[in-house]
Chain A
């Protein structure tokens, strides 16, 4: 159309799901009352000393390993100086020249085509507080200030909104499976900055702009599309792109310039004297990464090639590590892969998803699911009644079988078979049968007992009673 090719690089910020903040022992939780998870360290009081959270370093190393980064053997922190009330110290403790992870790559698939997006680095820094703008003043909440944040910087390897969103989705999936971040957009635990420039084929890259702080995949897509349109219009009308930092307004769908980059961006990085460097040996790294689970990409491959599932199914099952773990657990407990997949994608997803929330709650184990599916398979319960069983065992360790008994749902569907058993029992017990026919209702329970004994209790008592009455009344 216009002949311009967009070139896109991303800076992705992911909050780590540690219990505490990066440099102090305040809780790292979302949704607390303002400023309740704060202390003199994260509130930037003078004279305090930060101490690094071991787990935050380990999680970043895990995340880096999961995408093939080189893990630095020597890493340190630096002060990035700027004045803005979201950081009370007037600097952000970040990593400048010696980040924890270097390089790495993420494979994405867009329109059936596979592509590799290279990473430049991942560094570990502290998150900033939250500003709530009111009329005339701004209120500051430092609960988020000091929360461990990984900044993942890509190379400019993406050329469309589709590729950028596919990259973000894959990166979020990898970090979720690695167990280091929830990557919940709703809670701001993953956010992205978009660097974008346009160029004609074969020509050097144009001037880039940076759109900051996009907090949903949808905003990333819309911001990229809007910025491509804007830059195209500027260039087509003979104008020049100004290097600047921009914001994207979700309500209007428009971006706008913030401040000119030239004089504002002088961060005067210098080494953080209050924190000691981190030195990692090969053994340290091996130990940290020892429990790194199988990631989504590998599982998808296994699901399609070994278990014969469709690509769509494989994708659905790996949309959340808890779902994939449930599915794998059920299959290794003996469930049929296709049936387990269908059940997870329908009943479990329906039950575990809460509208408007990113995550999914999985309230049963793989073994419980396998048992449940076996009962359905044997016809002892059907798919409709299986929902009652699911409700009963959800968030408990009760077996599906015990739930079926507790709910009285276990059914022998073969009325012909039951009736035949009843006839045998009646024929073998002419005395009690005669008693019943003479009006003694009480012997009915004797026949029910005989039937239960013969079927090991697997007959629905109501069906049994009805059939016994029918046969005895003939």
Chain B
């Protein structure tokens, strides 16, 4: 896969990361080499391995629909960078 500037820009945007032009140019190379390294996986003959949606064999891991003890709002809110008495505060989001 050829790594273009557009792919770098798009990926950076999706990841909410800002790059300078120099960083972007450097990343083009890095990106290509990382992807190239992953490409080596294709050398493995997987034709005898059944397709799976998960790396583990386990299925049907459930919990019963029974409420647990409340965790405590204060403990959670105390981790927030910004908060008021009962809510998380984030920068105003406008759609």
**Chain A residues proximal to chain B, CB less than 8 Å:** 18-20, 24-27, 33-40, 43, 45, 51-57, 74, 76, 81, 83-85, 98, 131-134, 136-142, 247, 258-259, 263, 266, 268, 271, 273, 275-279
> Is the beta-carbon distance between A20 and B67 smaller than 8 angstroms?
yes
> Is the beta-carbon distance between A139 and B87 smaller than 8 angstroms?
yes
> Is the beta-carbon distance between B86 and A279 smaller than 8 angstroms?
no
> Is the beta-carbon distance between A56 and B89 smaller than 8 angstroms?
no
Q: Among B54, B88, B89, which residue has its beta carbon within 8 angstroms of that of A277?
A: B54
Q: Among A52, A273, A278, which residue has its beta carbon within 8 angstroms of that of B55?
A: A273
B45 is an interface residue with CB less than 8 A from chain A = no
Interface flags, B43-73, vs A, CB<8A=1, else 0: 0000000000111101111111111101101
Q: Among B71, B87, B91, which residue has its beta carbon within 8 angstroms of that of A40?
A: B71
> Is the beta-carbon distance between B90 and A276 smaller than 8 angstroms?
no
B79 is an interface residue with CB less than 8 A from chain A = yes
> Is the beta-carbon distance between A18 and B76 smaller than 8 angstroms?
no
* Apart from A38-B76, A276-B58, 9 more pairs, CB < 8 Å: A26-B67, A26-B70, A35-B87, A53-B63, A74-B53, A133-B92, A139-B84, A140-B88, A278-B60
> Is the beta-carbon distance between A259 and B95 smaller than 8 angstroms?
yes
> Is the beta-carbon distance between B67 and A138 smaller than 8 angstroms?
no
Asked whether A132 and B87 contact (CB < 8 A) given A20-B66, A54-B62, A76-B53, the answer is: yes
> Is the beta-carbon distance between A276 and B61 smaller than 8 angstroms?
yes
| CB within 8 Å of A: which B10-37 residues | 10, 13-14, 16
Name the B residues within 8 Å of A98 (CB-CB).
Answer: 53
**Interface size class, chain B:** 35 or more
Asked whether A18 and B73 contact (CB < 8 A) given A34-B87, A271-B54, A279-B59, the answer is: no
Asked whether A26 and B68 contact (CB < 8 A) given A34-B87, A140-B88, A140-B90, the answer is: yes
Name the A residues within 8 Å of B84 (CB-CB).
Answer: 139
B93 is an interface residue with CB less than 8 A from chain A = yes
Asked whether A36 and B56 contact (CB < 8 A) given A19-B65, A54-B64, A276-B61, the answer is: no
Enumerate the 3 nearest inter-chain pairs by beta-carbon distance, A residue then B residue, closest first. A25-B68, A55-B65, A54-B62
> Is the beta-carbon distance between B71 and A38 smaller than 8 angstroms?
yes
A277 to nearest B CB, angstroms? 5
Name the A residues within 8 Å of B87 (CB-CB).
Answer: 34-35, 132, 139-141
